[in-house]
Structure 1
Amino acid sequence: GSGGGGSGGMGPLQDITIWIAGDSTVANGQTPCPAGWGGSFAALFDDRVTVVNSAVGGRSVRTWLYYVKTAMDSAGECELDRDASGEPVLQDRWVRMLDDMKTGDYLFIQFGINDGSRTCDRHVGLDAFKSSYGMMARAAKERGAKPVFVTPVSAIACDGSTARGTRGGYVTATQEAGAEYGVPVIDLHERSVALYNALGFCPVPGGDVSATTSGPVGEFFCDDHTHFARSGAAQIAGLVAGAIRDQAIGLAAYLE
């Protein structure tokens, strides 16, 4: 993808930033385990691309965006800290991102791993999940940036020798949000399950992934069925890049 080609006669491609919002399966990680796919993303693009990965472990879309209370409101959503005018108080990471986002940039959003928690502060219902994605997409578009929604990557779970998906309603909600708000959706959930099957991960030795799991599964995941080692994270990043190419998202022109 490098070498100045692939710009389709539109002149040279501008320098852009890819902004990433997500949870631990996306976050850079400070150690070899866990590592999220966002930490391996920059290596897949040419030098016109800067990746700013603001994914944070343990976050739902709402605890990433807002200051969320442990009390639930009458609608079954976690209460948000609000300012004097009644508006939700935004986390600094989102404010800084919006301050620096410019025309031509991309915003990748992937949550849904923690949002299914029954309790606050992490609980996010499916409608609130979709509306949060819509708010983020509108904010990006207002700044000339292009949002991309990513379905939550699957944990490894097996039905016999076949891997199956694990993220349920949040996969569908991400797809529905994409349709509602006119945003491309990368189905990383489906692609990750297909990868686990292609790599023959099922049945998992010992039934579930632990610190003692060896072989390909132990090398791909950390000490559980959700979080990746660096090698696994790099392969998941490759799935995202493959989808960018397959779906002809404009960012594909920047892929190495």
Structure 2
Amino acid sequence: MNTHKWIQNMQRYLRWPNVGLTIVVMACMSFCLLMQHKTTIYMIGDSTMADKSVKAYPETGWGMPFHYFFDSTVVVDNRAQNGRSTRTFIEEGRWKDVLKTLTKGDYVLIEFGHNDEVPTKRSYTPPEAFTANLKTFVEQTREKGAIPILLTPVARRHFDSTGMLIDTHPVYGPLVLQTAKEEAVPCIDLQKLSMDLLRKLGPERSAMLYNQLEPGEHPHYPKGVKDNTHFNELGARKMAEMVLHELCKLDLPIGQHLSPKR
């Protein structure tokens, strides 16, 4: 039934004047437009992606600037948490909470590895379990009609004495790529992208991307900090922009909803 016939039927049923009914219809249509479904991009991962508290500033997760990249039809919901691995993210119910609101057409960006791969951490996840957990994220995302995207873990800044960048994810990075291939999942090789950038900048200049401060330089870190894992604002933005660029190359519908200011 077209809109004109619907209005006529409503007029006969409600016996309202034409002008009054038109106002009501317009109001209803406006309300429906306001309540239209928005696509949500969920981000799950560890501290390299996570939102940070004010007291941690200038430490910045690369997921923090991500919401600026999209128009008003997209919501970015960053669920990444410091110290989490694939295993602890599931065990703590964080993934279950994502599934509660995940709907058809949404996206899930999945970036783990930093905490899974360290045997001395309570978050340690053996390689077989790490792969199984990634597949759980993928399968359950697809069951909801949403789109999973795997990301290899972002690089740490670790140069040797000769100035050569060391790969600190030699096992868990390839496991992500392997899982993406086996499950036919879109994948962004953030490890390679970030390592390429660090090599380009070199041992000295690459420090400007990380949370590195001299004593007394910032009140949050009175003794200074030399962090080669977590980013400052510049580093987070650079990583986020690389992810966005690769996301657009995947030719997914979300690429049509970039902010007009970009």
TM-score by length of 1: 0.75
Closer/same/farther in 2, CA of residues 231 and 209 from structure 1, 3 Å limit: closer
The corresponding residue for 1:176 is 178
Q: C-alpha distance in 2, partners of 1:204/1:197?
A: 8
Matches within 5 A, 1:169-248: 169-202=171-204, 211-212=213-214, 223-248=226-251
Q: Work out which of the residue numbers 68, 74, 80 in structure 2 matches 1:55.
A: 80
Distance in structure 2 (CA, Å) of the matches to 1:202 and 1:171: 25
Partners in 2 of 1:245 and 1:53 — Cα distance? 19
- Aligned letter for 2:123? R
Following TM superposition, by how much is the alpha carbon of 1:196 offset from its aligned partner in structure 2, in angstroms?
1.7
1:33 to 36, 58, 62: 58
- Residues 12-54 of structure 1 show CA distances to partners (whole Å, capped at 9, x for unaligned) of x962000111000000111323211111111111111101101
Matched AA of 2:70: F
Q: Deviations over 1:84-117 (max 9, x none)?
A: xxxxxxx332222101011100001101001112
Q: Indicate how the Cα distance of structure 1 residues 201 and 47 shifts in structure 2: closer, same or farther if over 3 A, else same.
A: farther
> How far apart in 1 are the matches of 2:86 and 2:166?
24
Distance (Å, rounded) in 2 between the aligned partners of 1:209 and 1:24: 13
Per-residue CA deviation, residues 138-181 of structure 1 (Å, 9 max, x unaligned), is 11101110000000000112243443432111110000111112
What is the distance in 2 between the residues matched to 1:36 and 1:204?
17
Q: Which has the higher helix share?
A: 2
Q: Which residue of structure 1 aligns with residue 16 of structure 2?
A: none
For 1:170 and 1:56, locate their aligned partners in 2 and report how far apart those are by CA, in whole Å. 19
Aligned to 1:18: 41
Q: Does the 8 A contact of 1:165 with 1:190 survive in 2?
A: no
Paired residue secondary structure (1:132): helix
- Compute the displacement of 1:119 (Å): 3.7
Gaps spanning 5+ residues in structure 2: where? 1-35, 218-224
Alignment length, in residue pairs?
A: 211
CA–CA separation in structure 2 for the residues paired with 1:149 and 1:26: 13
Q: Which amino acid aligns with 2:231?
A: F
Bigger Rg, structure 1 or 2 = 2
Match of 2:144 in 1: 143
Quick one: structure 1 residues 92 and 123, their matched pair in 2 at CA, closer, same or farther if it must change by over 3 Å? closer
Cα distance in 2 for residues equivalent to 1:51 and 1:144: 18
TM-score, normalised to structure 2, is 0.74
Out of 246-255 and 132-141, give the one that drifted further: 246-255
- Structure 2 counterpart of 1:103: 104
Alpha-carbon distance in 1 for matches of 2:239, 2:211: 18
Aligned with 2:228: secondary structure?
A: coil
SS in 1 for 2:108: strand
- Kindly provide the amino acid, as one letter, of the partner of residue 35 in structure 1: T
Sequence identity, in percent?
Answer: 31
CA contact (8 A) 1:33 1:227 kept: no
Comparing 222-231 and 98-107, the one that deviates more: 222-231
Q: Compared with structure 1, are the counterparts of its residues 176 and 21 closer, same or farther at alpha carbon in structure 2 (3 Å cutoff)? A: same
